[in-house]
Structure 1
Amino acid sequence: MAFSTLRLASSNLLRASLNTKTPAIYMRKTISISSALPKRIRGPEEETEKVKELHHWKKERYVMLALLPTIPAALIYPNAICDFALVTAMVLHSHWRLSGVAEDYIHGFPGKIAQPLVLFLSICAFGSLCYLNYNDVGFSNAVRMLYSQL
């Protein structure tokens, strides 16, 4: 009994949906994009923007690949040249990643503060690590001392 009632109700709904007439005028939805959002939604449109982002991506990969031999070399044979190369590559790599995170995930007013803050922190980190290299034991020796006392 319940099955036949359900079948009758579904056939009536199907027949009613097939008999509906479509209106002569179709309403078209329009989507407006504010000036703050086009880059996030569409990405780079011009060829120069694509090439610029591709070159930046390649530079990031080169720095990452330069870090692979620099880290063990600086820890195995600590000297000023290896320390400065390691510090420079580490800070540059960190700066690019943090600025990418700030650009992608922090929007609105905090986003306007985040980019200069990342730049300021990167400059402070680079200055502090250069000071450590020039006036103290050096970055590699500091890392070795830290891990030898743990």
Structure 2
Amino acid sequence: MAALLTLRALSKNCSVSSRFGALRLNGLYRAPAALSVATTQRTCQAVVPYQAKHFSVSPVTKGAPEIEQAGHDHVLHWTAERILSVILMGAIPVAAVWPTPSAEYFLALTMTVHSHWGIEAIVVDYVRPSIFGKVIPKLAVGAVYALSFFTLGGLCYFIYTDVGIINAVKLLWKL
């Protein structure tokens, strides 16, 4: 409350608040030549944000050199991730309504690939060669592939030998 009263008194004494309207130019702030206003034995100075720099949101046509040399097509991968997410949104209700083995195998495959891509992105982002060297990132990505392989194998085994994913969720939901 005291800070609010101080700011109001400062703006009344310095008459700076009326000058802020002149600062706004096309959504950006510009610093005027003089913002100091002398009052009775007191100089008040307004603090103005820095001028915003122009930036563009046009699509990038070239990636980083190390990515281009590796031959990765990240746009295609991103598109595949989005398509898989949409497919997964349909696969879950279909498997819940008709819990057949083929629907559950498809659900296991799509869930495993979806989680694999997410975990792989996290590992690639955070276990970088510039921090950990060349060997540890490769081992980490290999561990992600092994985890995904065993996850898919475990889900398929569970579908084949036990009640299946959907029926297991229904049984857990009844608890």
The answer to whether TM tops 0.5 is: yes
How far did residue 110 of structure 1 move?
3.3
Aligned length: 108
Taking the aligned partners of 2:67 and 2:154, their CA distance within structure 1 comes to 36
How far did residue 41 of structure 1 move?
6.3
Taking the aligned partners of 1:79 and 1:90, their CA distance within structure 2 comes to 16
Taking the aligned partners of 2:68 and 2:105, their CA distance within structure 1 comes to 39
Residue type at the aligned position of 2:138: K
Taking the aligned partners of 1:57 and 1:133, their CA distance within structure 2 comes to 30
Q: Does 1:101 align with 2:101?
A: no
Taking the aligned partners of 2:147 and 2:82, their CA distance within structure 1 comes to 22
1:45–1:127 distance in 2 versus 1, CA, 3 Å: closer
1:43–1:148 distance in 2 versus 1, CA, 3 Å: farther
Q: Which residue of 1 aligns with 2:98?
A: 77
In structure 2, the gaps of 5 or more residues are 1-62
1:59–1:79 distance in 2 versus 1, CA, 3 Å: same
TM-score, with normalisation over the residues of structure 2?
A: 0.56
Q: Which residue of 1 aligns with 2:153?
A: 127
1:97–1:76 distance in 2 versus 1, CA, 3 Å: same
Q: Does 1:91 align with 2:101?
A: no
How far did residue 112 of structure 1 move?
2.5
Q: Name the structure with the higher helix share.
A: 1
Contact 1:75 1:144 in 2 (8 A): no
Question: What is the Cα-based RMSD across aligned positions, in Å?
Answer: 2.2
Contact 1:71 1:86 in 2 (8 A): yes
Taking the aligned partners of 1:145 and 1:104, their CA distance within structure 2 comes to 38
Q: Which residue of 2 aligns with 1:54?
A: 75
Which structure has more RCO (C-alpha within 8 Å, separation ≥ 6)? 1
How far did residue 135 of structure 1 move?
1.1
Report the 3-state secondary structure (helix = DSSP H, G, I; strand = E; otherwise coil) of the residue aligned with 2:88: helix
Report the 3-state secondary structure (helix = DSSP H, G, I; strand = E; otherwise coil) of the residue aligned with 1:137: coil
The 5-angstrom pairing of residues 11-22 of structure 1 reads: none
1:44–1:112 distance in 2 versus 1, CA, 3 Å: closer
Report the 3-state secondary structure (helix = DSSP H, G, I; strand = E; otherwise coil) of the residue aligned with 1:120: helix
Taking the aligned partners of 2:89 and 2:65, their CA distance within structure 1 comes to 35
Residue type at the aligned position of 1:124: F
How far did residue 73 of structure 1 move?
1.4
Taking the aligned partners of 1:148 and 1:78, their CA distance within structure 2 comes to 17
